[in-house]
Amino acid sequence: MLIHSCYLSLPIISSGDYGDLIVIENMKNIPFKIKRIFYIFNVDINQTRGNHAHKKLTEAIFCLKGSFDIEITNSNGEKVSLTLNKPNQGIVLQPMHWIEQSNFTQDAICLVLADDYFKKSDYIRDKKKFLNL
């Protein structure tokens, strides 16, 4: 496991025939204040997403439906791979970790919660450059 990433497991509140509920709260079950939320869907099954690192941004990543694989690499080149396939389980991705997402199922929906607004300058999009930092 990478030192600066952690798994999240959010409680599911089941209401029988009314369905299930998962609550996401700033600084409670998400360890940061959420400033941006986005989701990714309709990804071609042969497509790889991510392929970048952030200098300062922290994200929590979940798979709300379907599944996809995620590979995380730290700046020392150490890697961890996992499959996200449960809506209440995710990962907190700290800054300076390279992320690659692949093997999306046709129905996959990826939810990302971020601790800051989009800033183009925060992205590192060259993996060799990232590994040399």
Q: What domain range is 44 assigned to?
A: 5-132
Q: Tens place of pLDDT for every residue, the chain, 133 residues?
A: 444 568 899 999 999 899 999 999 999 999 999 999 999 999 999 999 999 999 999 999 999 999 999 999 998 899 999 999 999 999 999 999 999 999 999 999 999 999 999 999 999 999 999 999 8
Q: Which token pair is 60?
A: 């929590």
Q: How many domains in the chain? A: 1
The Cα diameter of the chain in Å comes to 53
**97-102: strand order across its sheet:** 79-84, 68-74, 97-102, 49-54, 123-124
Q: Residue 90: count other Cβ atoms within 10 Å of its Cβ.
A: 26
Catalogue the active-site residues.
52
Give me the pLDDT at residue 75, please: 87
> Domain holding 37: CATH number?
2.60.120.10
Beta strands 123-124 and 36-41 are: unpaired
Enclosing H/E stretch for 52: strand 49-54
66 in Cβ contact with 106 (< 8 Å): yes
Q: Is 124 helix (H, G, I), strand (E, B) or coil?
A: strand
What residues are paired with 93 via a beta bridge? 5, 59
Exposure on the CB side of residue 85, measured as CA atoms within 13 A: 11
- The whole-model pTM stands at 0.91
What's phi and psi for 40, nearest 5 deg?
A: -120, 135
